[in-house]
Structure 1
Amino acid sequence: MSDDNKFKSLDELKDSIDMGLDIECFIYGDRYYIGAPKGDLLIALSPDGDGDIYADTDDLLNNHKIKGKPLKDIWKDIEIYSM
Structure 2
Amino acid sequence: MVPFHEPVYRVAEQEWKVFVEALTDSLMEVDPEIPPLPPKDVIHRIYRDIRFSNDKTPYKRGFSASLSRSGRKGIFAC
* Greater Cα radius of gyration, structure 1 or 2: 2
Same fold, judged at TM 0.5 (above):
no
Higher helix share: 2
Normalised by the length of structure 1, the TM-score is: 0.27
Larger relative contact order (CA 8 Å, sep ≥ 6) = 1
